[in-house]
Amino acid sequence: MVIDGLEFARRQGCLAGQLRLGALQRLNDVLFDADGHLDYEIAGEMAGNNAFLKLRIEGPLRLTCQRCLGPMEFALDVSSRVMLVESGAPWPEDGQLGGLEDETCDAIEASRELNLLPLLEEEILLALPIAPRHEACQPPVVADLSGSVSPFAQLARLKRQ
């Protein structure tokens, strides 16, 4: 998945396919399991002299709930636009990015060998909730098999004395 970024934008290239979740190492760290795949679409476009890549990634993910550590369904749906900056060209100020409406977008250095996989993975990671949690769930109950009294029970007893 390597393209010449600027060339791709100039000829308004289009790429679509499926990403295997198992191939996305960094994403795997936050997934409950890495079965399945996401659909992606990448389109190149020009706005004035600026080159952009439009990214769309969607599909189901299973995140790990930060409270109960169980699986949590998450419907990923990312649409974003990345500006390609020619190497040597001045880096755009935040407010100058996009060039289209007031849409926020990131800029990356245009490369003749732009690897799309890390780019897509980055966009996916940015779209995930920071601390995913079910709306209602309980923390896992840790079974106390040792038979010892918990510190809280001891404290309660002390208070009663």
Binding positions for Zn ion, rule: CB under 5 A: 65, 67-68, 134, 137
The minimum distance between CB 60 and Zn ion, in angstroms, equals 17
The minimum distance between CB 64 and Zn ion, in angstroms, equals 9
The pairs formed by 84-89 with CB atoms below 8 angstroms and a separation of 24 or more are: 84/5, 84/6, 84/9, 84/50, 84/51, 84/52, 84/53, 84/108, 84/109, 84/110, 84/114, 85/109, 85/110, 86/6, 86/110, 87/111
Query: CB-wise, 66 or 111, nearer to Zn ion?
Result: 66
Query: CB-wise, 43 or 65, nearer to Zn ion?
Result: 65
The minimum distance between CB 33 and Zn ion, in angstroms, equals 15
Query: CB-wise, 138 or 161, nearer to Zn ion?
Result: 138
Q: What is the DSSP string of 85-116?
A: E-TTSPPPPGGGSSSSTT---EEEE--TTEEH
Query: CB-wise, 136 or 158, nearer to Zn ion?
Result: 136
The minimum distance between CB 65 and Zn ion, in angstroms, equals 3
